[in-house]
Amino acid sequence: MDRAKTALAEGSIGSDFLQLDVREAPPGGLADWLAGQLRAAIADGRLPVGGRLPASRVLAAELRVSRGVVTEAYQRLVDDGHAAGRGRAGTVVVAAPVVPPEPVPVSSPAKVITPSPGPDIFDVIRAAPARIDLTPGVPDLTAFPRAAWLRAERSVLDELEPSQFGYGDPRGAPAMRRAVSHWLARSRGIRADPGEIIIVAGVAQALTLLGDVLRQRGVTELAVEDPSSLGARQHLHHCGLATPPVGVDDDGLRVAELSAPAVLLTPAHQFPMGVVLGGERRRDLMRWAAEGGIVVEDDYDAEHRYDRAPVPAVRSMLPEVCYMGSVSKLLAPALRIGWLLAPPRFREDLVAAKRFADLGNGVLPQLVLARFMETGELERQLRVVRARHRRRRDAMIRALSAALPSAVVHGAAAGLHLTITFGGEVDDVALAAAALAEGVKVQPLSWHRQHPGSPGLVLGYAARTATEIAEGVAVLGKLLR
Write the CATH number for 249: 3.40.640.10
Task: Give a yes or no: residue 9 inside a domain.
Answer: no
Specify the pLDDT at position 103: 52
Average pLDDT over residues 369-389: 95
Read off the pTM.
Answer: 0.78
Closest C-alpha among 471, 379, 365, 464 to residue 133: 464
DSSP for 398-412 reads HHHHHH-TTSEEE-T
Looking at the structure, do residues 408 and 275 belong to the same domain, yes or no? no
Task: Give a yes or no: residue 307 inside a domain.
Answer: yes
Q: Which of 166-170, 404-408, 421-425 has the lowest mean pLDDT?
A: 421-425
Reduce the DSSP state of residue 98 to 3 states and report it. coil
Q: Which of 86-95, 234-243, 399-408, 460-469 has the lowest mean pLDDT?
A: 86-95
Residues spanned by the domain of 35: 17-93
Reduce the DSSP state of residue 390 to 3 states and report it. helix
- Enter the DSSP assignment of 270: -
Closest C-alpha among 277, 300, 329 to residue 188: 300
CA separation for the pair 107, 123 (Å, rounded): 12
Q: How confident is the model at residue 149 (pLDDT cuts 50, 70, 90)?
A: very high
Average pLDDT over residues 56-67: 91
Q: Can you give the length of the chain in residues? A: 481
Looking at the structure, do residues 218 and 343 belong to the same domain, yes or no? yes
Task: Give a yes or no: residue 279 inside a domain.
Answer: yes
Task: Give a yes or no: residue 11 inside a domain.
Answer: no
AA identity, residue 277: L
Looking at the structure, do residues 205 and 273 belong to the same domain, yes or no? yes
Average pLDDT over residues 273-302: 96
Per-residue pLDDT tens over the stretch 444-481: 999 999 999 999 999 999 999 999 999 999 999 999 98
**Number of domains within the chain:** 3
Whether the per-residue pLDDT at 110 is higher than 80: the answer is no
What percent of the chain is modeled with pLDDT above 70?
Answer: 95
